[in-house]
Amino acid sequence: MYRKVKLALKMLWFSLTGNIANKENDYDKASHSYDSIFSKEMGSYSIEVVTLLGISSGMAVLELACGTGHNTVAIAKLLNGKGKLSIVDQSDGMLLKARQKLIDYKDVVHDIYKGDMIDYLATMPSGSVDRVLCAWAICYTLPVKLLKEINRVLKPDGKVGIIETRPDSEKLLMTAFEKVILSNPSLLVKSIENYTFPENKQMLGHWFSKANFQSLNCWEGRKALHCETPKEMISWVIESGAASGYFDALDLTREDEIKALLEKAIKVEIENGGDSILYHTFVAGVASK
């Protein structure tokens, strides 16, 4: 109990002093391996959302948190040389990768913006876009506030697609991580933000409703990741960007020590009957204005 209180006070102090982990730093680092790790495992699920949006040539499409452009290229192909495509991301590393992929689609690329999603939406005229996609990023903002702004900028027959990680994703590793930090509070040098992950499809549907959207389809999914050892599990969450906002909070001068402690904690969890497979779980949905 004392350890929990001590850790909570430490986190509070970091928050009050503005010493908060920077997820963009983690995403910048992960941008080099993101496609070969995360997109390889999870990319098909976000492409499914793109498909259900019903994007066609001539439309104006906005992609929030475009990442390395995995979904962006799919959207550009659907526009088929006509229409407008705008993309937003906070990570320089991710945007650099996206720009490289869009070289062959200059005829539809309208705007590439580095910054906050809501800040960008605030600059857009009401009723100016046909479709909006936000993949793996609504957790980093206020979901209903973001969706209300998306609703405002959409045309009367507009649609939005969302896919986001669930809070039980990578549960084996996250449980081990929490125990390591609780036992070794000095490893934490920044506060970790409270991210808003949708617990299930009902929660995503509720967000849609609060933002005056009509939910067309909401679903959940789970993917077993190809990680056979604790070491591979740790590498996956770092290199895939799944640990963004968490890894930057740690004392990275002790990176080898942290990884060793995590490996040991994961092994203990498995030995104590925990699930030996690392899963990435998610919620997705499409809604209309």
**pLDDT tier at 5 (50, 70, 90 boundaries)?**
very low
Residue 18: predicted pLDDT: 56
First to last CA, the chain: 48
* Domain residue extents for the chain: 2-288
In whole angstroms, what is the distance from residue 192 CA to residue 249 CA?
Answer: 6
Share of the chain above pLDDT 70, in %: 93
Residue 249: predicted pLDDT: 86
DSSP secondary structure letter of residue 36: I
0.75 cut: is pTM over it?
yes
**pLDDT tier at 69 (50, 70, 90 boundaries)?**
very high
What is the bridge-based pairing of β-strands 109-114 and 84-89? parallel
Q: Are 208 and 285 in contact (CB under 8 A)?
A: yes
**pLDDT tier at 8 (50, 70, 90 boundaries)?**
very low
CA torsion angle for 269, 274, 279, 283 (degrees, to 10)? -110
Residue that the structure tokens 């496609």 belong to: 35
Least confidently predicted of 33-37, 63-67, 190-194: 190-194
Q: How many helices (H) and strands (E) does the chain have?
A: 12, 7
Least confidently predicted of 2-6, 40-44, 215-219, 277-281: 2-6
**pLDDT tier at 17 (50, 70, 90 boundaries)?**
low
What is the mean predicted confidence (pLDDT) over 29-56? 96
Instruction: Report domain 2-288's class.
Output: alpha beta
In whole angstroms, what is the distance from residue 167 CA to residue 199 CA?
Answer: 6
Give the contacts of 198 (CB within 8 A, at least 6 positions apart).
Answer: 138, 139, 143, 164, 166, 204, 207, 283
Give the contacts of 98 (CB within 8 A, at least 6 positions apart).
Answer: 66, 67, 68, 69, 72, 87, 89, 112
Distances (CA, A) of 118 to 114, 139, 168, 185, 234: 12, 13, 26, 34, 32
Q: Are 249 and 189 in contact (CB under 8 A)?
A: yes
Residue 11: predicted pLDDT: 46
Distance of CA 42 to the CA centre of its chain: 11
pLDDT for residue 21 is more than 80: no
Least confidently predicted of 14-28, 63-77, 134-148, 240-254: 14-28
